[in-house]
Each structure stands twice: as structure tokens, then as C-alpha cells.
């Protein structure tokens, strides 16, 4: 999960760069298409063509639709929001995953972990500012929509993994994002500039690595336990904002980040204690 967050942060920096010159749906399509060659090589090397067999078409199609909406919404937001701000709002996703894992996956979340999650939400609200101005902007609403799509998609991975291979889950999601977003973006398609080729390639590599890591994380781990590791994206967001765009978070942002990190670390500690108690 930590590797996935790092890879996706680098990918998001590339998406933010591309969002300046291309429509959101086109950027979403390019993201899927750019990762496909790398994922296909990995598929052929590990499981072969047979591993691409689909057993639950309905869930794959659902993930594809969620993926298109999630990517387009997030790219739209990145056009105007710093990465650190977008990530702070996107932290609603781990909270949604924890809530959904109870009724949809039958996982158990104790009161202490629920309390830590609630404290993490307070940190997100601090990052959005007490005035709430961030919540009413179209860009912030787009991030919230992307976060919900991500949470639902993460839950479906746990269900799909019972019948379909990791190769199938990864490959067909990228195919559906590339094709679905491409069809929707076609009327407003902007010719790709040669200078952006290296950015698109970087997005493809980082996206492929991140997709594999996060698919494995939710396939073998407890969703409510690994979800808090999403908070490490804030560190990457701050570093990339400062290094690439010269944006440094203010004191309120650092306060919110401290609250979120503290709650995430407590959640990890509670999970470790729980595991040790169950397996002395």
C-alpha cells in the first residue's frame, strides 16, 4: 500500500501537468492507455493469456465505470487545486472504505479504530479550513466524487479476487478506462503534443506499478486496516507541490496533516495489537 501511494503520487503529478492542456476525459483515457503496454507485458510473463479470463463481467464493468468517473473527476480537480489540497480532501476515501467494509465485506472495526478514523476526519476538515470554502468549490466536489468512486472500486477488488486473477482485475480496468474515457472524450479530443510524450510515458509506468501494488494490497489485506496508509499521500503531495510548483502548505495545513498522521499511526498500532492478541 505504501508503494502504491508513492507511485500514484508521481502519476498524479504527471496528470496535473497534462490537465493544463487537455480535457479531463482525454487525460483519463491517456492514463489508462499509457499503462496498458507495461501491464500486458507483466500479464504475459506471469499468468499468460489464460489469466485474463473474466468470470464476473458485472463487477468488471462496474469497476470500469467507476474508474472513468474517478479519473476524470480527479483530473478536473487537479487543474486548479494543489496536490496536497486535493489529497487532503481525497482522504475521505479511507473513511468510506472503512464504513463500507463492514456491511459489504463483513469486516469488524472496533470502537477505538472508529474513534481514530473520526479524529482523522477532523484533520481533513482542518485542512479544508474552518470556513468550509473548499467544500463548495467545483474542484473540491470533484475530488469528493473521485474519493467515493475509489472507495467502491477498492471494495469490489476484494469481491473480484475470489473468482478472478489479479492480472484480469488490473488489465480490464485499464482497458475500460482507456476505451470508455476515450469514447467520451473523442468529440473534444486535443492533438497530443510531442513534448508531452515523456509525461504520458511516466504516467503509464507509475500508474502500472501503483495499480499492481494497490490491487495486491486490497486482495490480501483487510480493507479497514490498510486504508489509513492512504494518509502518506499527503507527504508526497507536499513534496511534489514544493518541488514542481513552488507551493508550500501554510500553518493550518500542517496542523491538519499532523492530526491525520497521528490518527493513522494509532490505527496501525491498534491493528498490530489486535493481530498479536489473535495470534499469540
pLDDT at residue 226 above 90? Answer: no
Which pLDDT belongs to residue 76?
Answer: 95
Which pLDDT belongs to residue 280?
Answer: 30
Nine-digit cell string for 272? 498490530
Over residues 128-144, the pLDDT tens digits come to: 665 545 445 788 789 88
Q: Give this prediction's pTM.
A: 0.84
Mean pLDDT of the 242-249 span: 89
Q: What is the mean pLDDT of the chain?
A: 85
Task: Give the chain's end-to-end CA distance (angstroms, integer).
Answer: 25
pLDDT at residue 78 above 80? Answer: yes
Which pLDDT belongs to residue 30?
Answer: 97
The number of distinct structural domains making up the chain is 1
Which pLDDT belongs to residue 223?
Answer: 66
pLDDT at residue 278 above 50? Answer: no
Cα distances (angstroms) measured from residue 246 to each of 73, 88, 134, 240: 24, 18, 21, 9
Q: Which domain holds residue 205?
A: 2-278
Rounded Cα gap, residues 249 and 34, in angstroms: 31
Angle 107-267-135 (CA atoms, 0-180°, nearest 5)? 90
Rounded Cα gap, residues 68 and 32, in angstroms: 9
Cα distances (angstroms) measured from residue 145 to each of 39, 71, 141, 151, 166: 27, 10, 6, 10, 26
Query: Which of 263, 220, 269 has its CA nearest to residue 94?
Result: 263
Which pLDDT belongs to residue 83?
Answer: 92
156-186 in b/e form (b: 16+ CB < 10 A) is: bbbebbeebbbbbbbbbbbbbbbebbbebbe
Amino acid at each position: 500500500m505504501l508503494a502504491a501511494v508513492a507511485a500514484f503520487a508521481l502519476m498524479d503529478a504527471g496528470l496535473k501537468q497534462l490537465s493544463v492542456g487537455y480535457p479531463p476525459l482525454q487525460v483519463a483515457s491517456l492514463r489508462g492507455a499509457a499503462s496498458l503496454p507495461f501491464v500486458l507485458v507483466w500479464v504475459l510473463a506471469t499468468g499468460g493469456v489464460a489469466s485474463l479470463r473474466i468470470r464476473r463481467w458485472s463487477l468488471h464493468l462496474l469497476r470500469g465505470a467507476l474508474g472513468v468517473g474517478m479519473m476524470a473527476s480527479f483530473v478536473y480537480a487537479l487543474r486548479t487545486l494543489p496536490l496536497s489540497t486535493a489529497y487532503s480532501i481525497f482522504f475521505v476515501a479511507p473513511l468510506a472504505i472503512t464504513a463500507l467494509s463492514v456491511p459489504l465485506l463483513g469486516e469488524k472495526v472496533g470502537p477505538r479504530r472508529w474513534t481514530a478514523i473520526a479524529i482523522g476526519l477532523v484533520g481533513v476538515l482542518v485542512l479544508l479550513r474552518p470556513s468550509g470554502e473548499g467544500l463548495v468549490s467545483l474542484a473540491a466536489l470533484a475530488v469528493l466524487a473521485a474519493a467515493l468512486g475509489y472507495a467502491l472500486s477498492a471494495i469490489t477488488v476484494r469481491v473480484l479476487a475470489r473468482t478472478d486473477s489479479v492480472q484480469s482485475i488490473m488489465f480490464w480496468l485499464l482497458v475500460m478506462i482507456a476505451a470508455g474515457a476515450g469514447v467520451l472524450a473523442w468529440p473534444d479530443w486535443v492533438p497530443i503534443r510531442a513534448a508531452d510524450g515523456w509525461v504520458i510515458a511516466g504516467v503509464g509506468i507509475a500508474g502500472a506499478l501503483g495499480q499492481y501494488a494497490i490491487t495486491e494490497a486490497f486482495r490480501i489485506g483487510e480493507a479497514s486496516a490498510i486504508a489509513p496508509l492512504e494518509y502518506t499521500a499527503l507527504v508526497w503531495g507536499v513534496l511534489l507541490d514544493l518541488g514542481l510548483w513552488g507551493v508550500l502548505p501554510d500553518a493550518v495545513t500542517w496542523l491538519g496533516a499532523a492530526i491525520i498522521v497521528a490518527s493513522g499511526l494509532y490505527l496501525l498500532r491498534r491493528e498490530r495489537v489486535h493481530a498479536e492478541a489473535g495470534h499469540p
